[in-house]
């Protein structure tokens, strides 16, 4: 059994001052850094959108951020422009230890489809390749930290469980957007899926 630390979207735009700031997003950096040396493998995910990404409210006339629309693959929350490829907002938090990372996995780069999960895009079928990487390296036990608890962490954890990986979520090292009860819903969903929710 080998374990991987999956650090989800610890990027400037999700931290205070960023375009889609998650309250307290920067508070978890030190705790995440401290976990890195204890993992057999470290994966960083990076939300990585083209400037005209369809998840941006700016691409839909008359729509505002945090409103929901129907996309061909289902409901989609519209976000402020964030994590645009190559921008400072898409860069990792400056204090995050990125050098020890074995893999940096970018997602959300297809213009017409969002990708919350680190495993599958929001159509729930287009793979990111992470499953193959983890399996090829024999990494069976995954610990999740990062942003945001109720979106990218949540969907990554649910997919990990569907694929048969063991999943622990360090809830103390995640922070949530919490849109219309999404944090409670995500917490229930992750627990029901068999993830271990830990506070230390
Ligand atoms: C995320 C909304 C849009 C996340 C990414 O990392 O949770 N949320 N893009
Ligand atoms: Zn995004």
CB of 44 closer than 6 angstroms to any ligand 1 atom:
no
User: Ligand 2 centroid to 52 CA: how many Å?
Assistant: 12
pLDDT, tens digit, 9 for 90 and up, residues 165-197? 999 999 999 999 999 999 999 999 999 999 999
Q: Please write the tens of the pLDDT for every residue from 120-149.
A: 999 999 999 999 999 999 999 999 999 999
- pTM for the whole thing? 0.98
Upper half-sphere CA count for residue 31 (Cβ side, 13 Å) = 16
| Residues marked as catalytic | 9, 107, 152
Give the pLDDT band of residue 1 (cuts 50, 70, 90). Answer: confident
Segment (H or E) for 142: strand 139-147
**Does the beta carbon of 47 lie inside 6 Å of ligand 1?**
yes
9 lines ligand 1 (CB under 6 A): yes
Whether omega before 182 lies within 30 degrees of 0, making that bond cis, reads no
User: What pLDDT sits at residue 6?
Assistant: 98
Report the atom number in ligand 1 closest to the C-alpha of 83. Answer: 9
Integer Cα distance of 134 and 186 in angstroms? 24
Answer yes or no: are the C-beta atoms of 148 and 174 closer than 8 Å: yes
pLDDT at 102 over 80: yes
């Amino acid at each position: 059994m080998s374990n991987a630390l999956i650090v989800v979207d610890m990027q400037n735009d999700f931290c205070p001052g960023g375009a889609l700031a998650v309250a307290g997003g920067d508070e978890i950096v030190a705790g995440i850094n401290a976990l890195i040396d204890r993992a057999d493998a470290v994966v960083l995910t990076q939300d990585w959108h083209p400037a005209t990404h369809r998840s941006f409210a700016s691409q839909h006339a008359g729509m505002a951020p945090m409103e929901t629309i129907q996309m061909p693959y289902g409901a989609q929350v519209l976000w402020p422009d964030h994590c645009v490829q190559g921008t400072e907002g898409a860069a990792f938090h400056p204090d995050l230890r990125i050098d020890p990372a074995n893999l940096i996995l970018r997602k959300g780069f297809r213009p017409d489809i969002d990708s919350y999960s680190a495993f599958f895009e929001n159509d729930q079928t287009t793979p990111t390749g992470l499953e193959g990487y983890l399996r090829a390296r024999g990494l069976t036990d995954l610990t999740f930290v990062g942003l945001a608890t109720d979106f990218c962490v949540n969907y990554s954890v649910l997919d990990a469980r569907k694929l048969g990986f063991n999943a622990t979520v360090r809830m103390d090292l995640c922070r949530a957007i919490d849109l219309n009860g999404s944090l409670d819903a995500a917490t229930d969903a992750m627990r029901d899926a068999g993830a271990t929710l830990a506070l230390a």
